[in-house]
């Protein structure tokens, strides 16, 4: 069987697909790739199924070895990568020969880079998904892990389709990101002044992972305690000490803090590329 | 007025719909909530998450869906039958496992055995699963055992820990950080992602904690490891 071998795992590298559905009632998170547009582009370029599993690399990429000749793509955040010593172009199909090592460096723009292979990563599904999440799977890839690759369908597409996908590559990262939000279920608990303060420009704190992202500026408030209630990726909670926490794809299914805002899916996706100190401002949709 | 007609529907962004009922006595309301949940799952065939008095539907809140939802919620409904499964959970309350039991008994100024008696006396109801895969939220904790959560969460609560936080008690299916006070540990496996049914628990089921000795705990743990231990369940 064709596959990849992990030579060096990088900082936090995991297999992710579109997510795990149908098990939220057991307390199982949705998981799946953090930057959906990067995954869509990578799979599109390779003529994979749109939900084919990819490798998500955070901050510092891995070194992997290809068992057989393989087409692959790197998308998402900015990064330098080389395959058998030759530079790999971002967001373009590249080719590795059997035995070649692909070395993905430190992420220089954004925070997550995606490696997709023609045929998709075909690790074993757990509860309907290949997305890695402990304790369902190992938390992340380790040295010597073997990742099977499916059958390539690359080559069956023509240039026209490729061009339309490539033209969607986002430009350089803007100075500050505009996050579009809806009111959350407990938004009404805030006073008018607090609602204004909530939507002040903010910064990403150093507390961020696949579960959640905490913002730097806190919100002074007097909201009461509440009972545990359902949450979804994109829900922004406000803790008793005023910390604002955006829940991401590995978040719990229930939470006990007031849900003050809800991100649009597009804004949720853009959070996947933020890093500590990045600036955000808000646009409240009706 | 029926117990279930005081609700509102809240579109949670464009991906989900939340139904919230006014604050109420949770254990009384649960049979209605589960009946309503079953009705919604059957009708919409989407992923549904519920907690004490809220239901979340993972579907876009289109005007047509909201209209249909309101119709379904306003129909008469029978609460789910009271007959349910009881899971008998063996718990060892020895200090090797009850890491916070000493501090807990000191704060409550009663003997450890009294804490154990109070904790094992009620039959708890599983309201829902959340927080961690397979973590059951239980109602029915004796108010004498209510105790505020730790100010600073413990880094590592062991797998199988039986703990109390605020007015709630629960079992940790796997190791996790957490702010609850650990009073014992169960050797049984509460979550197995490889199984057809990863959790033995369903909302509405009941739980009975049975105190076991250290040696009995070890015997059960060995059976669990060999895969020969069957969780004891009875019908109420």
Structure confidence by residue, pLDDT tens digits, B226-235: 989 988 999 8
Contacts of A234 in chain B (CB under 8 A): 13, 15
Q: Which one, of A26, A27, A3, lies nearest residue A15 by Cα?
A: A3
Contacts of B194 in chain A (CB under 8 A): 126
Give the ipTM of the model, two decimals please: 0.90
Which residue in A has a C-alpha nearest to residue B21's C-alpha?
A: A229
> Which of A23, A29, A32, A227 to mutate to test binding with chain B, by most B CBs within 10 Å of its CB?
A227
DSSP count for chain A of H helices, then E strands: 4, 18
3-state secondary structure of B98: coil
Q: Which fold has domain B85-235?
A: Cyclophilin (2.40.100)
Cross-chain Cβ contact B48/A25 below 8 Å: yes
Could you report the per-residue pLDDT of A99-148, keeping only the tens digit for each? 999 999 999 999 999 999 999 999 999 999 999 999 999 999 999 999 99
Counting residues of chain A whose pLDDT is more than 90, the rounded percentage is 89
Could you report the per-residue pLDDT of B109-137, keeping only the tens digit for each? 999 999 999 999 999 999 999 989 999 99
State the burial class of residue A205 (Cβ atoms within 10 Å of its Cβ: 0-12, 13-18, 19+): middle
Lookup result for tokens 């807990």: B104
Cα A18 vs. chain centroid, distance in angstroms? 10
3-state secondary structure of B113: helix
pLDDT on residue A168: 45
Which residue in B has a C-alpha nearest to residue A124's C-alpha?
A: B194
> Which of B7, B8, B12 to mutate to test binding with chain A, by most A CBs within 10 Å of its CB?
B12
pLDDT on residue A58: 96
Q: For residue A172, is pLDDT > 80?
A: no
- Give the phi and the psi of residue A25 in degrees, each rounded to 5: -70, -15
> How many interchain CB pairs under 8 A, A with B?
97
pLDDT on residue A160: 43
pLDDT on residue B178: 84
- In this structure, are strands A70-83 and A94-96 parallel, antiparallel, or unpaired? antiparallel
> Which of A235, A237, A254 to mutate to test binding with chain B, by most B CBs within 10 Å of its CB?
A254
Cross-chain Cβ contact A253/B58 below 8 Å: no
A197 in contact with chain B, both atoms CB, cutoff 8 A: no
Q: Across-strand partners of A262?
A: A182, A235
Window A:165-194, CB contacts with B under 8 Å:
182, 184-185
Query: What are A262's two structure tokens?
Result: 């809800």
A102 in contact with chain B, both atoms CB, cutoff 8 A: no
Q: For residue A156, is pLDDT > 90?
A: no
> Which of A31, A253, A266, A283 to mutate to test binding with chain B, by most B CBs within 10 Å of its CB?
A253
CA distance to partner chain B, nearest, from residue A135 (Å):
8
- The closest CB to that of B198, out of A127, A227, A265, belongs to A127
Could you report the per-residue pLDDT of B148-188, keeping only the tens digit for each? 888 777 888 999 999 999 888 999 999 988 889 999 999 99
Contacts of A229 in chain B (CB under 8 A): 51-52, 54
Whole-angstrom Cα distance, residue A32 to residue A250?
Answer: 8
- The closest CB to that of B133, out of A22, A136, A229, belongs to A136
Give the lowest-confidence range in A156-170, A253-267, B114-128.
A156-170
pLDDT on residue B149: 83
CA distance to partner chain A, nearest, from residue B188 (Å):
16
Cross-chain Cβ contact A185/B18 below 8 Å: yes
Contacts of A22 in chain B (CB under 8 A): 47
Could you report the per-residue pLDDT of B46-59, keeping only the tens digit for each? 999 999 999 999 99
Residues A252, A27 contacting (CB under 8 angstroms): yes
A209 in contact with chain B, both atoms CB, cutoff 8 A: no
Average the pLDDT over A6-10 and give the result: 98
Q: In the CATH scheme, what architecture does the domain B7-74 have?
A: 2-Layer Sandwich (3.30)
Cross-chain Cβ contact A26/B48 below 8 Å: no
Average the pLDDT over A49-76 and give the result: 97
Average the pLDDT over A193-213 and give the result: 96
Cross-chain Cβ contact B11/A126 below 8 Å: no
Q: How confident is the model at residue A175 (pLDDT cuts 50, 70, 90)?
A: confident
Average the pLDDT over A169-198 and give the result: 87
Which residue in A has a C-alpha nearest to residue B167's C-alpha?
A: A227
Q: Which one, of B232, B213, B236, lies nearest residue B224 by Cα?
A: B232
pLDDT on residue B1: 43
Q: How confident is the model at residue B3 (pLDDT cuts 50, 70, 90)?
A: low
The count of residues in chain B is 236
Report chain B residues touching chain A, CB-CB < 8 A.
10-16, 18, 20, 23, 26, 47-56, 58, 128-135, 137, 174, 191, 193-194, 198-199, 203
Q: Which one, of A167, A249, A257, A146, lies nearest residue B51 by Cα?
A: A257
Residues A68, A19 contacting (CB under 8 angstroms): no
Contacts of B203 in chain A (CB under 8 A): 25
Residues A105-125 as b/e (b if ≥16 CB within 10 A, e otherwise) read eebeebbbbbbbbbbbbbbee
Domain with CATH 3.30.1360.40 in chain B: 7-74
Q: How confident is the model at residue A31 (pLDDT cuts 50, 70, 90)?
A: very high
Which domains does chain A show, CATH number per domain? 3-166 (no CATH), 176-284 (2.40.100.10)
Q: What is the pTM of this model?
A: 0.92
Sheet holding B124-129, edge to edge: B181-185, B161-165, B168-171, B136-139, B124-129, B206-211, B85-91, B232-235
Q: For residue A239, is pLDDT > 70?
A: yes
Lookup result for tokens 């955006």: A246
Cross-chain Cβ contact B198/A26 below 8 Å: yes
Cα A6 vs. chain centroid, distance in angstroms? 20
Q: How confident is the model at residue A174 (pLDDT cuts 50, 70, 90)?
A: low
| Per-position DSSP letters for B145-202, written without gaps between them | G-BPPPSS-EEEEPTTEEEEEBTEEEE-SS-EEE-SEEEEE--S----TTSSSS-S--
Whole-angstrom Cα distance, residue A93 to residue A87?
Answer: 13
Give the mean pLDDT of chain A.
93
Which residue in A has a C-alpha nearest to residue B24's C-alpha?
A: A227
Which residue in A has a C-alpha nearest to residue B9's C-alpha?
A: A185
- The contacts of residue A164 (CB under 8 Å, 6+ apart) are none
* Radius of gyration of chain A from its Cα atoms, rounded to whole angstroms: 20
Q: How confident is the model at residue A167 (pLDDT cuts 50, 70, 90)?
A: very low
């Amino acid at each position: 069987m064709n596959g990849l071998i992990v030579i060096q795992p990088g900082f936090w590298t995991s297999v992710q697909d579109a997510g795990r559905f149908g098990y939220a009632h057991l307390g199982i998170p949705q998981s799946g790739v953090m930057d959906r547009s990067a995954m869509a582009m990578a799979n599109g370029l390779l003529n994979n199924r749109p939900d084919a599993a990819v490798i998500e690399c955070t901050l510092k990429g891995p070194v992997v070895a290809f068992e057989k000749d393989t087409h692959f793509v790197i998308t998402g955040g900015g990064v330098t990568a080389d395959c058998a010593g030759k530079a790999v172009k971002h967001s373009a199909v590249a080719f590795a020969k059997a035995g070649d090592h692909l070395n993905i460096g430190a992420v220089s723009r954004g925070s997550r880079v995606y490696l997709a292979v023609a045929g998709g990563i075909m690790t074993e599904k757990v509860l309907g998904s290949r997305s890695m999440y402990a304790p369902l799977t190992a938390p992340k890839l380790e040295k010597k892990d073997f990742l099977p690759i499916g059958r390539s369908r690359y080559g069956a597409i023509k240039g026209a389709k490729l061009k339309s996908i490539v033209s969607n590559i986002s430009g350089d990262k803007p100075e500050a990101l505009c996050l579009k939000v809806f009111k959350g279920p407990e938004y009404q608990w805030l006073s008018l002044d607090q609602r204004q303060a909530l939507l002040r420009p903010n910064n990403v704190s150093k507390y961020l992972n696949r579960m959640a992202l905490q913002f730097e500026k806190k919100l002074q408030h007097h909201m009461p305690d509440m009972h545990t209630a359902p949450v979804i990726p994109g829900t922004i909670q406000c803790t008793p000490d005023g910390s604002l926490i955006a829940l991401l794809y590995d978040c719990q299914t229930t939470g006990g803090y007031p849900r003050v805002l809800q991100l649009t899916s597009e804004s949720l996706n853009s959070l996947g590329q933020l890093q500590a100190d990045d600036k955000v401002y808000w646009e409240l949709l009706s | 007025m029926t117990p279930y007609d005081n609700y509102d529907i809240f579109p949670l962004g464009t991906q989900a719909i939340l139904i919230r009922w006014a604050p109420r006595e949770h254990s009384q309301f649960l049979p209605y909530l589960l009946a309503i949940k079953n009705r919604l799952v059957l009708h919409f065939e989407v992923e549904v998450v519920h907690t004490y008095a809220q239901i979340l539907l993972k579907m876009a809140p289109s005007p047509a869906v909201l209209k249909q939802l309101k119709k379904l919620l306003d129909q008469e409904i029978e609460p789910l039958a009271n007959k349910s499964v009881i899971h008998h959970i063996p718990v060892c309350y020895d200090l090797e496992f009850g890491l916070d039991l000493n501090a807990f008994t000191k704060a409550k100024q009663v003997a450890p055995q009294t804490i154990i008696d109070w904790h094992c006396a009620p039959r708890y109801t599983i309201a829902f699963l959340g927080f961690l895969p397979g973590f059951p939220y239980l109602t029915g904790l004796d108010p004498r055992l209510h105790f505020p959560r730790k100010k600073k969460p413990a880094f590592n609560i062991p797998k199988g820990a039986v703990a109390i936080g605020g007015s709630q008690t629960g079992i940790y299916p796997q190791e996790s950080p957490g702010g609850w006070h650990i009073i014992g540990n169960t050797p049984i496996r509460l979550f197995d992602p490889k199984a057809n049914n990863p959790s033995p628990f369903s909302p509405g089921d009941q739980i009975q904690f049975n105190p076991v000795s250290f040696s009995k705990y070890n015997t059960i743990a060995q059976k669990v490891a060999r895969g020969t231990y069957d969780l004891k369940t009875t019908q109420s």
